Amino acid sequence: MEILMSFCYSRCALVRRLLVGSLAITLSGASCLAQSPQNWEGDTTEARFVDNLLQKMTLEEKLGQMSQIPLNQKEDVSPDERILKGQVGSFLFITDAKEINRLQHLAVEKGRLHIPLIFGFDVIHGFRTIYPVPLALAASWDPAQAEEAQRMAAKEASAVGINWTFAPMVDIARDPRWGRIMEGAGEDPYLGSQMAAAQIRGFQGDKIGSPEHILACVKHFAGYGAAVGGRDYDSSSISDEELWNIYLPPFEAAVRAGSGSLMSAYMDLNGVPATGNRFLLHDVLREKWKFDGFVVSDWESVKSLTTHGFASGPQDAAVRAVNAGVDMEMTSHVFRDELAAAVKQGLVQQSTIDEAVRRILTAKYRLGLFTSPYVASSRAETELVTPEQRQSARKAAERSAVLLRNEGRLLPLSKSLTSIAVIGPLADSQADITGSWSLATHPADAVTVFEGIRKRFPSGTTINWAKGVEIERVQPSIFDPQYPSPKPVLKTDAERDAEFAHAIDLIKQSQVAVLVLGEAQTMSGERASRSTLTLPGRQQQLLEAAVATGKPIVLVLLNGRPLDITWASEHVPAILDAWYPGTEGGNAVADLLFGDANPGGKLPVSWPRSVGQVPIFYARTLTQIPNALDTRYWDGSSAPLYPFGYGLSYTTFKMDDLKTESISVKAGSKLAVSIELQNTGGAAGDQVVQLYTHQRSGTASRPTRELKAFRRVSLKPGEKQTVTFALDTNDLGFWSPQTHRWSIEPGPFDLWVGADSSATQHTTFTVLP
Q: Binding residues for ligand BGC, per CB under 6 A? A: 122, 166, 219, 298-299, 526
Range list of H helices, 175-239: 189-204
Q: How far is the CB of 21 from ligand BGC (least distance, A)?
A: 16
Task: Exactly one of 122, 268, 298, 327 is catalytic; name it.
Answer: 298
Q: How far is the CB of 534 from ligand BGC (least distance, A)?
A: 26
Q: Are 248 and 406 in contact (CB under 8 A)?
A: no
Answer yes or no: 298 catalytic.
yes
**Alpha-carbon span 84 to 105, nearest angstrom:** 10
Among residues 219 and 538, whose Cβ is nearest to ligand BGC?
219
Among residues 127 and 166, whose Cβ is nearest to ligand BGC?
166
**Alpha-carbon span 411 to 713, nearest angstrom:** 21
Among residues 298 and 519, whose Cβ is nearest to ligand BGC?
298
The residue among 669, 666, 692 whose CA lies nearest residue 746 is 666
**Alpha-carbon span 321 to 276, nearest angstrom:** 5
Among residues 398 and 526, whose Cβ is nearest to ligand BGC?
526
CB atoms within 10 A of CB 54: 17
Residue 764 β-bridge partners: 750
Q: How far is the CB of 369 from ligand BGC (least distance, A)?
A: 20
3-state DSSP percent of the chain in helix, strand and coil, to 5: 35, 20, 45
Residue nearest to ligand BGC (CB): 166
Among residues 7 and 289, whose Cβ is nearest to ligand BGC?
7
Q: Are 230 and 614 in contact (CB under 8 A)?
A: yes
Q: Are 112 and 83 in contact (CB under 8 A)?
A: no
**Alpha-carbon span 42 to 158, nearest angstrom:** 29
Q: Are 744 and 736 in contact (CB under 8 A)?
A: no
* Residue 602: C-alpha distances to residues 401, 503, 576, 581, 683 (Å): 8, 31, 11, 15, 18
Q: How far is the CB of 24 from ligand BGC (least distance, A)?
A: 22
**Alpha-carbon span 716 to 730, nearest angstrom:** 34
Q: How far is the CB of 90 from ligand BGC (least distance, A)?
A: 12
* DSSP-assigned letter for residue 432: G
Among residues 123 and 535, whose Cβ is nearest to ligand BGC?
123
**Alpha-carbon span 41 to 51, nearest angstrom:** 13
Q: Are 243 and 737 in contact (CB under 8 A)?
A: no
DSSP 447-509: PPHHHHHHHHS-TTSEEEEE--S----SSPPTTTTTSPPPPPP---HHHHHHHHHHHHHHHHH
Q: Are 555 and 543 in contact (CB under 8 A)?
A: yes
Q: How far is the CB of 66 from ligand BGC (least distance, A)?
A: 17
**Alpha-carbon span 221 to 191, nearest angstrom:** 18
CA 164 from centroid of its chain's CA atoms: 16
Q: How far is the CB of 358 from ligand BGC (least distance, A)?
A: 24
Q: How far is the CB of 10 from ligand BGC (least distance, A)?
A: 11
Among residues 233 and 617, whose Cβ is nearest to ligand BGC?
233
Q: How far is the CB of 15 from ligand BGC (least distance, A)?
A: 8
Please give the angle made by the CA atoms of 414, 416 and 419, to the nearest 5 degrees. 95
Q: How far is the CB of 299 from ligand BGC (least distance, A)?
A: 4
Report which secondary-structure segment, H or E, holds 728. strand 720-728
Among residues 528 and 575, whose Cβ is nearest to ligand BGC?
528
What burial letters (b/e) apply to 678-717, b meaning 16+ CB within 10 Å?
bbebeeebbbbbbbbbbbeebebebbbbbbbbbbbbebee
**Alpha-carbon span 137 to 145, nearest angstrom:** 7
Among residues 298 and 564, whose Cβ is nearest to ligand BGC?
298
Among residues 316 and 526, whose Cβ is nearest to ligand BGC?
526
Please give the positions annotated as active site. Answer: 298
